[in-house]
Amino acid sequence: MSRSARTVFLALMLSLSAVAAPAYAAPPPTAPHRDPGNGPERNEVAATDPPMSVARAAAGENVAGDHSGYPRKTKLRVYPENTADKSIKLGLAPYHAIAPKLNALQARSDRISVEIAGQSGLGRDLYLVTLTAPESRSETRRQDAWRSLIENDPARAARDPFLRHGYKAPVWINNNIHGNEWEGTDGALRVIEKLATSNDPKTVELLKRNRFYFNVTANPDGRVAGTRQTSQGFDPNRDFVTASQPEVRAMRGIAIGKQPLMMLDEHGYVANTLIEPTTPPHGQNYDFDLYIKHGYANGLGMEQAVKALGRPETAKPEIPFRDYDPGSWDGWAPIYTAQYAMYHGAVSFTIEIPMRVNNADYETQPVAELQRRAVINTEVVEATIGSTLGYVDRNRGELIANQIEMFRRGTAGEAQREIPDGFVPGFGPEDRYRTEFPRAYVIPAGADQRSAVAASRLVDHLVANDVRVRQADRPFSLAGRRYPAGSYLVDMHQPKRGLANVMLEQGSDISAKVPVMYDISGWSHRLLWGASVDIVKQGRLDVRAHDVVAASPTGGVDAAPGRDLALKLVDATDVSAVNDLLNRGLALGRTDDGTIVVPASARPAAAEVADRYGVRFTEAHGTATPLSRKTIAAAVGADELKALRDMGFDVRPVSAAMLNAGFDWSRVDLLFVSSGLRYTDLTPAAKDALRAFLARGGVVTRGATGARFNTDAGLLEARPVAGWEDGNGVVSVVNGTGPVGAGALPDSFVYGPFWFTDLGSSVTVEQRYASGNPLVAGHWRTRDDGTGGPLEAAGQAAVVSGTTGLGGRAVLFGTEPLFRDHPKGLYSQVAKAVYWAASK
């Protein structure tokens, strides 16, 4: 439906949302100011308690299962004053001032509790603040039991009148996930102080009926440094489906442990303020009818609260569902905080406050102007939080029923509902995304499992995300296949089936459904994490099995004493084990097919790493060439740097400036180029040193930067062809028999895909895009001029290898095998490229 059609119904929706005055009343705004505005930034109880979910049991309920009652007083450690904290210039709270403020509030009030939800990459505490009326131990136990009942026995929860009237509605406010979008923290601190100290009767009553959870700053390292990313260079609001960062794992714990009915993720900056819900496409695994009714209504309520500030800069908030074209602000990917929280039962929102104070503005605007903008932004944060708390209090019963119904549908295995046009004002055919849930997924054990260690990692990841996994106690048959005991079963009749499915299904090709996409639109743990996973579409699950808290051990040595050992590189963990042995100074070998050979004399060390990493050694056969420890000089992104180091490689970041300053190539075996290095930026002396290295060392390149480096340096005879720059997703590939392609997965990942043509006689095709349309899931269109589409890429070389004109070896990737620490099943392909190219 068009923007204008959505707007026609605005008045009707406002009448639905404005049913009562909010219980939370923000202080009056200061005098309004005028600002030209900023463009959008792309970023986004019963007597017997039911059993605790496996994920909570495994995690020890570190922030959720403490039954000691409220308040819970924590004496927070105070950090030294840091005058370099970037928030100071804006007149906002520096990180070192947060703990003293929270300590003081805990001393003044019995409504506030502070717990440590985790630590950042640099070891800073992550503060989880709870605001609620005091509770005895027994009252807290009852609240926890009700929360568990909602997830574990939703049909029973729906019939429980005591739960309906007594359950405290949990709300989660997440702040400052992008470190240089500061004001979420400061607006939250205002609300926290008011709720903790106000004597207003409405506030007192509000806290008797609700629990409000505030993640005060989700990215304190970025807050201090003034960077969007974490200290490890990752965007945490793109990490939820993978959870590679400690800050994201802490937020995941909050989402699971607190099970919020509603959540806000406070961001910046979009002129006028942006308030979700999003444009299409909406995630196809959601029970979207249970989201959009309250998502739109509360969005409109927040809009009115922001407009009520009376500032010209906030006079026209933007609601993408109503105001934007499809795809420009989507709700598709589970990589974002808000979209991920929806799978745990939350009606969730991304809020983009209006006045830009970061990036170039931080450096060029006068301090007084920056602080003026920060004041406005803080008011907007407070207004959206206050409006949401009031909305939840007014609609508490329906929101509780909403969450119960989501979990009930999942447990019962019911189909998603068909949502009619006009279900909320403006809802139309373009908003309709659905999927068919299979009956189960099976992760086989034994000979049919491609990688036992990859299967173990996948199982542990599912459990960590509160997806229920069972392990078979005896052999069984499903859908005409026989599975051995020890195989894992993901029964899709479970409360959080949407999260299970969004990780395990292949996804959808949505290229024809929306013209653009905000970020990635394809991912699949089943296709990209390296484990064999079968789909059972329907039928009975008569399997004797037990709940999994952690995957079974997979490591071992299966060779007779005195025989050399072999390890095939089918997973990144295999590579980690090999590099561990190499780092001990052991002499290993490498066969023509890439198998690693460990001498019989190193059997004790092999047994130790088998136990540590879960890898399994078999008996070696054939001859092998020596393999030594590899050191990599890397001009790569943060995600690739992490992946290479996680595999145990010695990686030394480089740039053009470092090479021009005089870089010591003597201890380097391979150059990896994908970001931040252009051959044409090097001085003549640096080029000479590099060319001397390339005569003996190896090169691996990836993407546009890597392809250009190959061409400029005259390495392999291969003409790169760029696909559509925004093309992304899972692609089907055909592997060759060369040292890099042999044994790789039949699927890969692309973001801005490349392929290679006009190949020289010394170049080997390691991997091709599949024929037809290689896109399995994602968004990859043809440019307006007819170029760059997936059909043009079909059958073309995606990964090539060969000997360079300078004498060394090179491997060129047109795919994204290390993207955002996600496609873990592709990492071993990169490692094989490193070992081959660096072993001239």
> Any idea where the domains of the chain sit in the sequence?
3-412, 440-547, 556-627, 631-837
Q: Which of 247, 352, 382, 766 is catalytic?
A: 352
- Reading the block at residue 473, the tokens are 């106690």
Please report how many Cα atoms fall inside a 13 Å half-sphere around the Cα of residue 420, on the Cβ side.
2
May I ask the CATH class of domain 631-837?
Answer: alpha beta
Q: How many CA atoms lie within 13 A of 822 on its CB side?
A: 27
pLDDT confidence bin for 24, thresholds 50/70/90: low
Give the mean pLDDT of 615-643. Answer: 96
Helices (H), 80-124: 95-108
What value does the mean pLDDT take over residues 73-80? Answer: 96
CA distance 35 to 607: 66
How many Cα neighbours within 13 Å face the side chain of 321? 29
Distance CA 219, CA 768 (A): 40
d(CA 824, CA 570): 11
Task: Please state the rounded mean pLDDT for residues 513-534.
Answer: 97
Q: Please, which pLDDT band fits residue 22 given cuts at 50, 70 and 90? A: very low
- For tokens 């000089």, the residue is 633
pLDDT score at 840? 78
Three-state DSSP at 350 gives: strand
**20, 292, 240, 181 alpha-carbon torsion, rounded to 10°:** -50
Would you state the pLDDT for residue 446? Answer: 96
- Average pLDDT of span 290-308: 98
pLDDT score recorded for residue 787: 98
DSSP string for residues in 717-746: --EEEE--TT-EEEEEEEE-SSTTTTT--S
Q: What percent of the chain has pLDDT over 90?
A: 91
Residue of 403, 404, 401, 431 lying closest to 418 (CA atoms): 431
Q: How far apart are CA 230 and CA 246, in angstroms?
A: 10
**pLDDT of 519 above 50:** yes
Q: Is the pLDDT score of 17 beyond 90?
A: no
Q: Give residue 27's pLDDT band: very low, low, confident or very high (50, 70, 90).
A: very low
| Pair of tokens at residue 612 | 């540590």
pLDDT bucket at 41, cuts 50 / 70 / 90: very low
pLDDT tens across 730-745, in order? 999 999 999 999 999 9
Instruction: Report the predicted TM-score, pTM, of the whole model to 2 decimal places.
Output: 0.93
Domain 3-412 matching CATH 3.40.630.10: the answer reads yes
Can you tell me the mean pLDDT for 633-638? 98
Mean pLDDT of the chain: 93
Tell me the DSSP string of 755-792. Answer: EEES--TTEEEEEEEPSS--EEEEE----TTS-S-HHH
67 pLDDT higher than 70: no
> Omega before 444 cis (within 30°)?
no
Distances (CA, A) of 390 to 386, 400, 552, 678: 6, 15, 47, 54
Backbone angles phi, psi at 746, to 5 degrees: -80, 0
- Cβ contacts of residue 25 below 8 Å, gap of 6+? 200, 202, 386
- Select from 455, 402, 613, 545 the least CA-distant residue to 54: 545
Q: Return the pLDDT at 740.
A: 96
Over range 310-329, report the average pLDDT.
Answer: 96
Please write the tens of the pLDDT for every residue from 694-723: 999 999 999 999 999 999 999 999 999 999
CA distance 524 to 441: 13
Q: Are 240 and 252 in contact (CB under 8 A)?
A: yes
pLDDT of residue 674 exceeding 80: yes
Q: How far apart are CA 201 and CA 30, in angstroms?
A: 25
User: Exposed (0-12), middle (13-18) or buried (19+): which is 124, by Cβ within 10 Å?
Assistant: buried
Q: Give the ranges where 746-824 is alpha helix by DSSP (H).
A: 790-793
* Backbone dihedral angles phi then psi of residue 628, each to the nearest 5 degrees: -115, 170
- Region 306-315: mean pLDDT is 97
How far apart are the C-alpha atoms of 3 and 297, rounded to whole Å? 17
* Tens digit of each residue's pLDDT (9 = 90 or more) over 557-599: 999 999 999 999 999 999 999 999 999 999 999 998 899 999 9
Is 352 assigned a catalytic role? yes
Residue 9 has pLDDT above 70, yes or no: no
The predicted structure's pLDDT at residue 68: 84
pLDDT at 7 > cutoff 90: no
The pLDDT value recorded for residue 762 is 94
- Cα-Cα-Cα-Cα dihedral sign, residues 703, 644, 517, 354: negative
Backbone angles phi, psi at 252, to 5 degrees: -60, -40
- Torsions phi, psi for 752 (to 5 deg): 70, 65
Torsion angle of the four alpha carbons 83, 85, 89, 92, in this order, in degrees rounded to the nearest 10: -110
Q: Band the pLDDT of 65: cuts 50, 70, 90.
A: low
Quick one: the chain helix, strand, coil %, rounded to 5? 35, 20, 45
Q: How many CA atoms lie within 13 A of 438 on its CB side?
A: 21
pLDDT, residue 828, reads: 98
User: Looking at the predicted structure, is the pLDDT value of residue 19 above 80?
Assistant: no
Coil, strand or helix at 138: helix
Query: Residue 142, Cα to own-chain centre: how many angstroms?
Result: 33
Contact 397, 164 (CB under 8 A): yes
Separation between Cα atoms, residue 114 and residue 106, nearest integer Å: 8
State mean pLDDT over 743-757.
98
Half-sphere exposure of 773 (CA within 13 A, CB side): 12
Cis peptide before 281 (omega within 30 of 0): yes
Contact 421, 475 (CB under 8 A): no
Domain boundaries 556-627, CATH class = alpha beta
* Residue 754 scores a pLDDT above 50: yes
Tokens of 243: 């959870």
Task: Compute the residue count for the chain.
Answer: 840
- Rounded distance, CA 446 to CA 452, Å? 8
Question: What tens digit of pLDDT does each residue of 189-229 get?
Answer: 999 999 999 999 999 999 999 999 999 999 999 999 999 99
- Mutual angle of helices 288-307 and 367-394, in 10-degree steps: 130
Query: Would the CATH topology of 3-412 be identical to that of 631-837?
Result: no
Pair 720, 756: CB distance under 8 Å: yes
pLDDT of res. 63: 46
Instruction: Single out the residue of 315, 322, 256, 313 nearest to residue 295, CA to CA.
Output: 322
Residue 382 backbone class (left: φ over 0; alpha: ψ -120 to 50; beta: rest): alpha
Q: How many other CB atoms are found less than 10 A from the CB of residue 653?
A: 14
Residue 492, amino acid: M
pLDDT at 351: 98
Are 157 and 163 within 8 A, CB to CB? yes
| pLDDT at residue 4 tops 50 | no
SS3 459: helix
pLDDT of the residue at 23: 52
CA distance 811 to 833: 6
pLDDT at position 758, please? Answer: 98
Q: Give the count of alpha carbons within 13 A of 431, CB side only.
A: 27
